[in-house]
Amino acid sequence: MRTSSILLALALSLPILGLILAALLGQPSPIASDGIVAERTLTHLWNYVLTDYIVTTILLCLGVGIGVFVLGVGNAWLVANYQFPGKAIFEWALILPLAVPAYVMAYLFVDFLQHAGPVQTMLRENLGLSWALPDPRSLGGAIWTFSMCLYPYVYLVARTSFLDRSARFMEVAETLGYTSVQAFMKLVLPMARPAIFTGIALALMEVLADFGAVSYFGLQTFATGIFKAWLSFGDRSAAVHLSLMLLSFVLIVFYWERHNRARQRYALTNTNTRPAIPKRLVGPHALYAFLFCALTLFFAFVLPMAVLFDLLSEQGLEADPRYWGWLKNSLSLSAFTAILAVLCALFLAYAARLTQSKTLQGVNRLLTVGYALPGAVLGVGILSLLGLLDIAWLMSVSVGILVYAYLIRFLSAGLQSIETGLTRITPAMDGTAALLGAKPLEMIWRIHLPLLRRSVLTALLFVFVDVMKELPATLLLRPFNLDTLAVATYQLAADERLAELALPALSIVLVGLLPVILLSRAIAQKR
């Protein structure tokens, strides 16, 4: 068990090793024009641009971190604990923005609000206003867009965690004379901290790895530096050095959080949770709660969809003959990868739990950084690896390599969710089950799975939607004639055909919505 899980983990870290090798060997890239050494590229970048890139990255992460925390935790808290008008809809509808890729949200946001866009043109021409709105292609615009796209990560995990615990805690807290705000701050939030951190970490890793949306906003982040080194200077080795810097940073943050958390262990001692009875809000409080959820939903989902439908109506529904192929490819790739990723995640999480091995826990930590790896860099890592083994021709005839890349990038989304779920199953339960003679599979089937159901569904959902939206690795590693909806969207954007992009972009959203709705309803049902 130990060996096989270490082997699996190793198989998934190979490309990162390939990257490190490439960096050490200083492999020149085929796009290099003269034998520039990495050091010179790095020095140049450091002297002229890297500081700016790092500052922008930090500001962007801070902004998005606060944004997803406020939107995710705020909405989750309201929906998990209170009864107010519209709650039944908000409960699942607030997850919907998860299906909108950040780059699509960026196109729509900018197109709608830019100086030459419909809103500002109307203000100028119909109202004669001479002042301009702030430029949507800016740091503020990016923070807004990413927060709207990514808060569901936090919302999902926070809500699961609030639903599991908060009701009883709130009751206990009230008998101790806490106000509900105090109880939330002192009890519930610290209890949900691991889950909330996981959600924020997922969101920020997505921001760190993003290149498409960021460059559309005209921002220059650390990922810009990686791409500049690779594409403009043709210096793959410098790009790899920068990628490894980014990964180390992510690892340090993770380690620091774990270390802090290690001193605060919680496990529920009593698991016969009865469904909590949400408090009914009345008067202005009900209105505030409604407004908070409704505005989030409006800006994050309803408005972007309206703009997308508007683009679509402008374009007319001339479905591209290739459209059904894109749809089929996207669906099958996403479903297959999601199932595979969750199986791997379950296996790795259980291996770490059952063997109680520090090594395995460390390995699982390591695997989660894949998410912060820009897809293109991961792609180059895989290419280096395949090149070394001389099996790169596999890419053209099989989707296997592409699925492998997805697994490396998105396993962490599944693993985090399942690990968080497992922390809620106490070791004592396993002991009791074993004493009562439960066979291991029986124990997993009859005790763990029912308790883990939400986490497994959440994991499936994350991976499915992520694969649906993934772009750079897909572009680099896909076999012949296999275009996905995301690829089609990208090609049309590269060709600067925004209106034609509406159909594939909308399809990504709609296809992503199906599992989001199904799963979120399943999650919402009481066990």
Partner 1 sequence: MQGICSGFTSSIKKVSLIFGLGFAISALPSHAAEPNTVLNLYSARHYQTDESLYANFTKSTGIKINRIEADDNALLERLNSEGAKSPADVILLVDAARLWRAQVNGMFKPIQSKVLDQRIPANLRAKADADGTTWFGFSTRARIIVYNKDRIKPGDVNTYEKLADPINKGKVCTRSGSHPYMLSLVGALIERDGTAATEKWAKGMVANMARAPKGGDTDQIRAVASGECAVALTNSYYLARLMRSTKPEDIVVVAKVGHIWPNQNAGGVHINISGGGVAKNAPNPQAAVKFLEYLASDAAQIYFADGNNEWPVVASVRVDNPALKALGPYQVEKVSIAAIGRNQVAAQRILDQAGYR
Are 92 and 497 spatial neighbours (Cβ–Cβ below 8 Å)? no
Is 230 one of the binding residues for partner 1 (CB under 8 A)?
yes
**Site membership for partner 1, residue 139 (CB under 8 A):** no
Q: Hey, which residues between 30 and 49 contact partner 1 (CB under 8 A)? A: 30-34, 36, 44-45, 48-49
Is residue 126 a contact residue for partner 1 (CB under 8 A)? no
User: Angle at the Cα of 160 (from 158 to 161), degrees rounded to 5?
Assistant: 65
Cβ closest to partner 1, residue 269 vs residue 390:
390
CA–CA separation, 292 vs 73, rounded Å? 12
Q: Name which position in 144, 292, 301, 350 contacts partner 1 (CB under 8 A).
A: 350
Q: Is 231 in the site for partner 1 (CB under 8 A)?
A: yes
Q: Closest approach of Cβ 28 to partner 1, in Å?
A: 9
The C-alpha atoms of residue 395 and residue 392 are separated, in whole angstroms, by 6
Cβ 350 to partner 1 shortest distance, Å:
7
Measured from the CB atom, is 84 or 404 closer to partner 1?
Answer: 404
Distance CA 209, CA 203 (A): 10
Q: Could you say which of 178, 302, 347, 429 contacts partner 1 (CB under 8 A)?
A: 347
**Which positions from 297 through 316 interact with partner 1, judged by CB under 8 A?**
314
How many Å apart are CA 106 and CA 338, to the nearest integer? 26
The percent of the chain in helix, strand and coil, each rounded to the nearest 5, is 80, 0, 20
Nearest of 391, 387, 407, 375 to residue 476 by alpha carbon: 375
Q: Is 105 in the site for partner 1 (CB under 8 A)?
A: no
| Region binding partner 1 by CB under 8 A among candidate stretches 70-78, 83-91, 409-417, 495-503 | 495-503
Tell me if residue 471 falls in helix, strand or coil: coil
Instruction: Select the residue interacting with partner 1 from 127, 181, 262, 441 (CB under 8 A).
Output: 441
- Give 125-165 as a 3 state SS string: HHCCCCCCCCCCCCHHHHHHHHHHHHHHHHHHHHHHHHHHH
Among 104, 483, 506, 507, which residue interacts with partner 1 (rule: CB under 8 A)? 483
Decide: is 331 part of the binding site for partner 1 (CB under 8 A). no
Query: How far is it, in rounded angstroms, from Cα 99 to Cα 110?
Result: 19
394 in contact with partner 1 (CB under 8 A): yes
Of residues 182, 21, 158, the one with CA closest to residue 523: 158
**Closer by beta carbon to partner 1, 42 or else 78:** 42
Binding of partner 1 by 395 (CB under 8 A): yes
Examine residue 146 and tell whether it contacts partner 1 (CB under 8 A): no
User: Is 343 one of the binding residues for partner 1 (CB under 8 A)?
Assistant: yes
129 near partner 1 (CB under 8 A): no
Q: What is the dihedral of CA 328, 331, 337, 341, to 10 degrees?
A: -170
| Binding segment (CB under 8 A) for partner 1, from list 206-214, 274-282, 293-301, 385-393 | 385-393
